[in-house]
Amino acid sequence: MTNEQILATCRSNWEYRGVEDAAMREMLDELSAHLEDAQAAGRTAQDVVGPDVRAFAAAWARERTPFAHRALRMLAMAAYMLGWLLLLLHLTRWTAQLDVTAAHGAFLVAAGAGRVAWELRRGVMRLYQQWALSLVVALPVAILTRWLAGDGVLFTLPLWVAPVLLLPGLPYAVFDMRARRGRKGDPARP
């Protein structure tokens, strides 16, 4: 893996984990200097970052971003995604009241647990991979739960719950969108 590929992998991992731009630039400059020093000394890039670049980037991001900040971001984004899912369900069923069964709850819990486990282990996941993981993990759980628990309604969610769930993650989503637009327009970044 070349130095540019290592820097690009680390940058994408840090962007995904919510490391601020100023801190990310500082980390990229420091890593670039270490990689150049290692190359000048006749060592490989693997000597600096180890065999797994994603694990290296994740460990450095954890050191750089406090746990409370990461946990708050993850909870806000989970509520944001749940809000969009509920809003989509309300719109597709064209109802202001959404009946929630045990299978719905099991699907959401399994999808969320699979997503969090993947993020903690590997880090980066694209949107189509998130949906594929949700289907592979959560769909069998939902089918099994429906088979075991039946179709009884646990509770009913009104339409206003979806926008309330969207609110905590909205600032993070806007920040991420602006950061992506800024990266596309900045050709000087590695």
Q: What average pLDDT does the segment 160-184 reach? A: 82
pLDDT per residue over 119-170, tens digit each? 666 555 666 777 787 788 889 999 999 999 988 999 999 999 999 999 998 8
Q: What average pLDDT does the segment 159-187 reach? A: 80
Identity of the amino acid at 35: L
CA-to-CA distance for 188 and 27, rounded, in angstroms?
16
CA-to-CA distance for 50 and 10, rounded, in angstroms?
13
For the record, the structure tokens of 28 come out as 């990229």
CA-to-CA distance for 165 and 140, rounded, in angstroms?
26
CA-to-CA distance for 101 and 149, rounded, in angstroms?
9
Identity of the amino acid at 122: R
CA-to-CA distance for 45 and 80, rounded, in angstroms?
38
Question: Average pLDDT over the chain, rounded to whole?
Answer: 83
Torsion sign across C-alpha atoms 82, 83, 87, 88: negative
Higher pLDDT: 102 or 115? It is 102
pLDDT, position 140: 93
The C-alpha R_g of the chain, in whole angstroms, comes to 20
Do 17 and 123 contact (CB within 8 A), yes or no?
A: yes
Strand ranges inside 2-146, DSSP E: 97-101
pLDDT, position 173: 80
pLDDT, position 161: 94
DSSP 8-state assignment for residue 41: T
Asked whether the whole model's pTM tops 0.75, one would answer no
To the nearest whole percent, how much of the chain has pLDDT over 70? Answer: 86
pLDDT, position 174: 84
User: Model confidence at 17, in pLDDT bands (50, 70, 90)?
Assistant: confident
pLDDT per residue over 84-93, tens digit each? 888 988 999 8
CA-to-CA distance for 122 and 55, rounded, in angstroms?
7
